Structure 1
């Protein structure tokens, strides 16, 4: 009988035992799931007044700054000739500054699942004390608005059991030789002879010892690391997630709104609190409406399965300049946007095909 037959494949048993742990009934077996947080407190701060920026204007872009930004843009593309950026003549520059509202909602969510590890002598603590409920387990939160995941072994519901994969033998069949301990000789392909003579590599047996398992047919069980037993426990996964949504006020420059996601603008207003109120009295109606809509959507979307720890909202004035220029008698357009002076030119007039060897 080969080793594969001696160590049949098994699956992990259901974690029904954990369904009796107070606070975990029905949350662990079957993969668990996100656990509703305790009832959140209502915001107590009164609505804040609308933002009143000191200065709403952004200085007009200088022509030499626009030209240098275009040159850098052309240089960063291997298939772009520098001639349009170097020799083109700017004929007109139009500002199309726009507002962006950004809402961030920082949440903590918790989920549980059945887990195990090789038993290394740890004492089983099942029922020695009452296990803390999922939202009572201490966890170290990261800096606000920073994504992070932490896995914690819940104290007091752990137990020791025989390894289900190797049936407490500590061994598993070698996957390289399928538990036989040998493989066909690579020289004679298992025939035992080569050129009408006994194969000198395998001495005519047609077999080579499996190097992966040293001919044993078995290897150390990976599930229990050869320890034969497992420590089973409830694993709590704590996830901190920063959910971000933007709304950019429509502008008529022709620049794609998606281009603005990667740039910053002039900050006009920012505040954060446990739960935010929508902006009140903001001069641009589209920003006030997006604030109310996104705050409502975030609280509706994230409150049922996570705890909202903090919210932050910001309004920026993003600079956009449409630059018209002439090159070789034709008129062309490019855009400069954001504090970073990013450039967009969908129809750059001098490109070639680059082949990388």
Structure 2
């Protein structure tokens, strides 16, 4: 058979998916199938406020309940900040997170971890934990968030690995702008200029399997984290930094996952389970219910685009000008670090792409923290039409 024929021998043929029978028969194993029967159950007490500072947490009554192992708050966790982003080191996203923080920044943000022998006991204990908040004015609109009286990240121990144009004191997650040519001058020469504002809303990925993690200690004293994740190597690095332990003491196992669609490119349940197991030296599991998966996980960002196109009377585009703001939630991350405007048609005389992700206190968890580096095309296409 010639090399040309060999290169085409699979074209037009059907092949059985190697794991199809396993999945369809229900024999495929997922994270929850491996949870040790004696694992402690973790439930997360969550904030009812979009922006507040925790003044006091009283867990005395909860700790008296039979079967309650522990109640952890921001006072109990390490104070080394980290990022949950699914990005390679050095991550462009800021180290802005703690396992539990004294500030809560969205409705559903974690306040305390309730650890018990079973779910029913943990839920019962959660009802008797008393929290005192200093409720602050929330930042709900990305158009008014910049220089808002409420600073979402007022702490001074944030860390950037590289300059991304962020200014936390102004609620600016990062800033990017690239200009080629004279935008205004070339637009003045165009026969037609089309200008409009576009908005693409936040979207939520909904996998059949919700976020879930369990952790154990192996015979060598290593922390073994088994999780429904798309980023096992990144999770390992995040856990090590958050717990202030060497990465050699952490192992992350990713079984088959029941859907992710990018939402599991950000660590979610892993840090809570890892902290509990490392602290108590006992297996522990955290499984989000559907409400938590939809409201306390990750979504895609909402953006507002102001777009101008300039063209000749023959319909040849001369100028593309795109300036956007984006709702970054409360994460200090570069939502859009660059746009490949060099790939614009060679007839373009001037072009600009600018993006300013703005910090807000949404009613749900902020957007996915993976590195989004491509331009969303529908806005431009709509403008061209």
Q: TM-score, normalised by structure 1?
A: 0.26
Q: Give the number of the structure whose residues are more often helix, by fraction.
A: 2
Q: RCO higher in 1 or 2 (8 Å CA, sep ≥ 6)?
A: 1
Q: Give the number of the structure whose residues are more often strand, by fraction.
A: 1
Q: TM-score, normalised by structure 2?
A: 0.25
